[in-house]
């Protein structure tokens, strides 16, 4: 009889926990602003990916309404074009290779 009593307690506890989760879930979602904000959806969109060589890609992104073009390789990523007031000169990005960096 102890086994069935133990099994009944586990079942009731499980049901209580599931009901509490289902009741609290709408409040948690409202508190954090929805699933879209939790997942980060809507911050950027990949417009086009163009391979130019093995392991090197040109990626066009739209980030919060602005266009950014990146050159992505195994060594890193360089900003080729950024649509805003702060224009980026070609080759001024950072790809992890600092051998030609003269700003130090």
pTM, rounded to two decimals: 0.44
Helix (H) or strand (E) holding 70: strand 66-72
Q: Which residues contact 72 (CB under 8 A, 6 or more apart)?
A: 56, 57, 58, 59
Map out the domains of the chain as residue ranges.
2-38, 42-82
Distance from C-alpha of 76 to C-alpha of 20, rounded to nearest angstrom: 46
The number of CA neighbours under 13 Å toward the Cβ of 37 is: 7
Written as tens digits, the pLDDT of the chain (104 aa) is 788 999 999 999 999 999 999 998 888 877 776 555 545 556 788 899 999 999 899 999 988 888 999 999 989 999 999 886 555 555 555 554 544 444 43
Q: What is the pLDDT, as a whole number, of residue 103?
A: 46
Q: Which residues contact 61 (CB under 8 A, 6 or more apart)?
A: 44, 45, 46, 47, 67, 68, 69, 70
The partner residues of 93 in beta bridges, in order of sequence, read none
């Amino acid at each position: 009889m102890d086994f069935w009593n133990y099994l009944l307690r586990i079942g009731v506890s499980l049901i209580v926990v599931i009901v509490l989760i289902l009741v609290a879930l709408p409040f948690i979602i409202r508190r954090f602003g929805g699933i879209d904000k939790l997942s980060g959806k809507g911050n950027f969109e990949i417009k086009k990916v163009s391979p130019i060589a093995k392991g090197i890609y040109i990626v066009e992104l739209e980030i919060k309404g602005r266009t950014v073009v990146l050159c992505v390789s195994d060594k890193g990523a360089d900003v080729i074009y950024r649509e805003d007031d702060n224009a980026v000169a070609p080759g001024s990005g950072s790809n992890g290779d600092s051998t030609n960096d003269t700003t130090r």
